[in-house]
Amino acid sequence: NISSSSTSYKISVAGTGYVGLVAGVCFAEVGHRITCVDIDEQKINILKQGISPIYEAGLEELMRKNYAAGKLNYTTDYIQAYKDADAIFIGVGTPEQHDGSANLSYIAAVARQIAETIEKNCLVVVKSTVPVGTNDKVEQFIHDFLVNDVKVEVASNPEFLAQGTAVRDTLEAARIIIGTESKWAEEMLMKIYEPFNIPIVSVSRRSAEMIKYASNDFLALKISYMNDIANLCELVGADIHEVARGMSFDERIGGKFLNAGIGYGGSCFPKDTKALDYLARQNGYELRTVKAAIAVNNDQRTILFKKANQRLITFNGLKVAVLGLTFKPGTDDLREAPSLENVPLLLEQGAEVYAYDPAGSDNFRKLYQEGDYYIKYAENPEEALDGASVCFIFTEWSEVKAVKPEVYKRLMRTPLVYDGRNIYEIEEMKAAGVEYYSIGRAAVG
């Protein structure tokens, strides 16, 4: 669907994380001249070698191709990168603070760097997820610190990619949201995105900021709703798979995001629900629906641990297999992953944890090193399961789904499985002789 850009812009992108790097690489792919900027020298060095610091399907290939074509560069030298850019996209982090609000210090730091360096008219485009009204402040902040007499405007262009499918989500996005306050900014963003051939929704800056939170929080709500219903299903003898399937035929509901499980994680849903709740409270409003989504999710994450804890006298001295560490398949990202809540609980109780994850083990090891904790990282699911007394499934990796029910029966000391992603049919686990607990479905005792 991609055509090459009729106008090739000189664009710099601040931040080479999931959002910034993928945006930069995809802009280069459609013909713009891109400089990716990061303050992390190590990241820039490995990027220059054609290696992506994050795991995303198809990303390295596009990085290497566009780097070789001279359309894509990486630097820590923001002065060179910003001074004559037509547009600067900001994709730095906006992490959660203790009170639930978004930390805007990285955004402010980039804004200041931009103000002090730009030498020509420039459109600053905020891709990071920021509370409604932030971009007004960013524009004011840049004007306050501006050194040269140039025109600067700030636009909002929230990002909707999902980790694990980031490149595809960018090149084939369902829509592009642009929030601008002038024709100049609107037209320039339209031209930058023209070659993507994706519907562009042009709104005000504040609406664009709100669209991002409203969309993410709606998805979080959908997950928590299904989890809430799943918990009730268990109590009243209904099956959440059957219920979800029945619901999915209604077009007003849709068939996606109806899976029950041990709750959402990742760098976005947890923080974006809390940030919108915070914004509402700041404005004297109680956002009851989003609050409920947060509360359900908090309880959901340890629901299986609690169940297993009741079933066993103790985890002390037991070999526990953990299949899946990342917050979802296709990524090496551990941010807010259920494993991060459950593994420490297991370790505290003296469990001997054998964890398997096809992409997340290296990142997990940085937090929980063998030797410091009783944890081992297995090369494959079988190694983790061998001799284990209990198994927890936290991520629905295809490598985990490929484990046949009889493997649990054959390899484990006691075939006791707590599945947080409902990857097995009840009947097949029953037939294999596995004691099986999942979410919103009958237990196989």
Q: Quick one: 91 or 329, whose CB is closer to ligand NAD?
A: 91
Shortest distance in whole angstroms from residue 63 CB to ligand NAD: 15
Residue 342 counted as an annotated binding residue: no
Residue 16 counted as an annotated binding residue: no
Q: Angle, nearest 10°, between helix axes 303-311 and 338-348?
A: 30
Q: Quick one: 158 or 263, whose CB is closer to ligand NAD?
A: 158
User: Is the four-CA dihedral 27, 28, 32, 34 of positive or negative sign?
Assistant: positive
Shortest distance in whole angstroms from residue 164 CB to ligand NAD: 9
Q: Quick one: 102 or 411, whose CB is closer to ligand NAD?
A: 102
Stretch that binds ligand NAD, among 16-24, 178-186, 398-406, 414-422 (CB under 6 A): 16-24
Residue 163 host element (H or E): none
Residue 12 binds ligand NAD, judged by CB under 6 A:
no
Q: What is the C-alpha to C-alpha distance for residues 346 and 362, in angstroms, rounded to an integer?
A: 20
Residue of 11, 19, 192, 321 that binds ligand NAD (CB under 6 A): 19
Residue 420 counted as an annotated binding residue: no
- Letters for 260-279 (x = contact with ligand NAD by CB under 6 A, - = none) are -------xx-----------
The residues near 393 (Cβ < 8 Å, ≥ 6 apart) are 323, 324, 400, 417, 418, 419, 420, 421, 423
Shortest distance in whole angstroms from residue 27 CB to ligand NAD: 15
Number of other CB atoms surrounding residue 32 within 10 Å: 23
Task: Please name which of 370, 304, 371 lies closest in space to residue 339, comparing C-alpha atoms.
Answer: 304
Residue 188 binds ligand NAD, judged by CB under 6 A:
no
Residue 328 counted as an annotated binding residue: yes
Residue 334 binds ligand NAD, judged by CB under 6 A:
no
Q: What is the C-alpha to C-alpha distance for residues 245 and 247, in angstroms, rounded to an integer?
A: 5
CA end-to-end span of the chain, whole Å? 52
Question: Are 355 and 427 a contacting pair, CB within 8 Å?
Answer: no
Q: Quick one: 37 or 192, whose CB is closer to ligand NAD?
A: 37
- Report CA-CA distances (Å) from 371 to 365, 367, 374: 11, 12, 7
Q: Quick one: 269 or 377, whose CB is closer to ligand NAD?
A: 269
Shortest distance in whole angstroms from residue 166 CB to ligand NAD: 7
Name the residue with the smallest CB distance to ligand NAD. 17
Residue 329 binds ligand NAD, judged by CB under 6 A:
no
Residue 169 counted as an annotated binding residue: no
Task: Please name which of 246, 208, 198, 212 lies closest in space to residue 226, comparing C-alpha atoms.
Answer: 246
Q: Where are the beta strands (DSSP E) in 229-329?
A: 319-323
Catalytically annotated residue among 36, 122, 233, 268: 268
Residue of 8, 10, 39, 409 that binds ligand NAD (CB under 6 A): 39
Question: Are 257 and 219 a contacting pair, CB within 8 Å?
Answer: yes
Residue 26 annotated to the active site: no
Residue 272 counted as an annotated binding residue: no
Buried-exposed string 85-123: b where 16+ CB fall within 10 A, e elsewhere: bbbbbbbbbbebeeebbbebebbeebbebbbbbbeeebb
- Letters for 125-144 (x = contact with ligand NAD by CB under 6 A, - = none) are ---xx---------------
Shortest distance in whole angstroms from residue 402 CB to ligand NAD: 26
Q: Using CB under 6 A, which residues numbered 85 to 124 contact ligand NAD?
A: 91-94, 106, 109-110
Q: What is the C-alpha to C-alpha distance for residues 270 and 277, in angstroms, rounded to an integer?
A: 11
Please count the CA atoms within 13 angstroms of the CA of 442 that sit on its side-chain side: 12
Q: Quick one: 109 or 147, whose CB is closer to ligand NAD?
A: 109
Residue 228 counted as an annotated binding residue: no
Question: What secondary structure does DSSP assign to 331-352, as a single string?
Answer: ----TT-HHHHHHHHHHHTT-E
The residues near 352 (Cβ < 8 Å, ≥ 6 apart) are 317, 318, 319, 320, 374, 375, 376
Residue 38 binds ligand NAD, judged by CB under 6 A:
yes
Question: Are 111 and 287 a contacting pair, CB within 8 Å?
Answer: no
Size of the site for ligand NAD (CB under 6 A): 26
Q: Quick one: 110 or 176, whose CB is closer to ligand NAD?
A: 110
Extract the annotated binding site for substrate: 212, 257-261, 265, 328
> Which residues are annotated as catalytic?
268
Give the interface with ligand NAD as residue ranges (CB under 6 A). 14-20, 37-40, 43, 91-94, 106, 109-110, 128-129, 159, 161, 163, 267-268
